[in-house]
Amino acid sequence: MAKFIIEGGNKLAGSLNVNTAKNSTVAILCASLMIKGKTILYDVPRIEEVYRILEILSSIDVKVEWTDEHTLSLDTSAKLQMENMDKKATEITRSSLMLLGALAAREKEFKIYKSGGCRLGERTVKPHLFALEQFGVSVESKNKYYDVRNKPLKSADIVMYESGDTPTENAIMAAVLAPGVTTIKFASSNYMVQDLCYFLQEAGAKIEGIGSTTLKITGVKKLNSVRKYHIIPDPIEAMTFISLAVTTKSEMTIKNCPLDFLELELEKLRVMGQKMQIKNKRKSKNGKFDIVDIKFSPSELIALPDKIYGRPFPGLNIDNLPLFVPILTQAKGRTLVHDWVYENRAIYFLDFQKLGANLTLLDPHRVFVEGPSKLKGNELMCPPAIRPAVALLVAMIAASGKSVMRNSYTIERGYEDLAGRLSMVGANITYEE
């Protein structure tokens, strides 16, 4: 059982560079199956969630090769061996659901094992199916797998049942190879959806409205090889490091931040009294997004005057909401955190009490956080949800004394060499397998 061991309570100093986005990467890896050729991706994060998708792709006869530490070559031209799909890898990662859209034009019939991922209560696949069935995709739920049958794709006018990221991505992938013109309304416009669209455009897809909630997609007969695509830096990793700097009241610079997807989070922090400087504005390596470096200085924080909650982009990112909890433990006053999206994610916030936080659970969606609290180290099991888990890790680094987080695989799904990177800014953290 892997674990993090932390001696906390120290001020940090220096800079952290934000890696590329997990959620973009897994979507683009699935989308590579639409190309029937070669794809070369740059700045690919070496994280467990990516490894699981690569295991799935390798098992169905995709040629996968790391050409250097973070450059990945994929050859998807061979006939796919769907019957050999890696059952364990598929069950571990919910990202495997994006195979439904990616393979809608390529495979007439296949089975996909039901998937897990973060344990966040009931997470229905219905929004995926409501959209995909309008293109001609039929998915029948069996005990342990989905039986998928694809008719020749047809264009459609889609209204997304909910503005979810992966349901939108599935609908986009189906639409790109469906003859005719498809409109997708109430689409997610989050960072990974935009990144997927830009990748597909590189392959020859005709997509209009990227960044909005209405997409117009004209189907093409085939997609071309993509010889070079750089993935967006991860706004959630950026917010993780921002949370660390703010909670520990440290002088730190977070580099390579995708500003478009952090502006509201930064505004919330500004209202709370956080001092920061936004510097070195530039374009991302793929030329599509604004990137900045942000310097944080120790600040006295006050609680927000109203509740904080997540919502689809351009709201405060749903994945970033848990990363405000450690910050709020150090802000003077009481804040209501409303985590309405998932059935029970807010319950994991109760673990902050074990670190000395003054936190009250009101119901499965809402907590009061009262601060400032003096955090103290403790030994915890890692929650089975990435963002609450890494938010607790941030609190452990801020807490005085020794902390241990056991069974840390959940964090490794989304973060590369976290202990090694945090050590470089002065965190006393080690990783043991």
Strand order across the 214-218 sheet: 157-159, 181-185, 214-218, 206-208
pLDDT in the model for residue 433 = 87
pLDDT in the model for residue 276 = 98
For the chain, how big is the Rg over CA atoms in Å?
Answer: 21
pLDDT in the model for residue 116 = 58
| Cα–chain center distance at 267 | 21
CA distances from 306 to 302, 313, 334 (A): 12, 20, 9
Topology adopted by domain 22-230: UDP-n-acetylglucosamine1-carboxyvinyl-transferase; Chain (3.65.10)
Nearest CA to 258 among 285, 289, 230? 289
CA distance 165 to 248: 32
How far from each other are the two terminal CA atoms of the chain, in whole angstroms?
6
Question: Does residue 372 have a cis peptide bond before it, meaning omega lies within 30 degrees of 0?
Answer: yes
- pLDDT truncated to tens, each residue of the chain (433 aa)? 899 999 999 999 999 999 999 999 999 999 999 999 999 999 999 999 999 999 999 999 999 999 999 999 999 999 999 999 999 898 888 888 999 999 999 999 998 888 754 443 444 688 888 999 999 999 888 888 888 999 999 999 999 998 899 999 999 999 999 999 999 999 999 999 999 999 999 999 999 999 999 999 999 999 999 999 999 999 999 999 999 999 999 999 999 999 999 999 999 999 999 999 999 999 999 999 999 999 999 999 999 989 999 999 999 999 999 999 999 999 999 999 999 888 778 899 999 999 999 999 999 999 999 999 999 999 999 998 899 999 999 999 999 999 999 999 999 999 999 999 999 999 999 999 8
- pTM strictly above 0.75: yes
pLDDT in the model for residue 124 = 67
3-19+233-432 and 22-230 in the same fold? yes
How many helices and strands in the chain, by DSSP H and E?
13, 24
Domain ranges of the chain: 3-19+233-432, 22-230
Topology adopted by domain 3-19+233-432: UDP-n-acetylglucosamine1-carboxyvinyl-transferase; Chain (3.65.10)
| H or E segment to which residue 30 belongs | helix 22-31
pLDDT in the model for residue 142 = 83
pLDDT in the model for residue 119 = 46
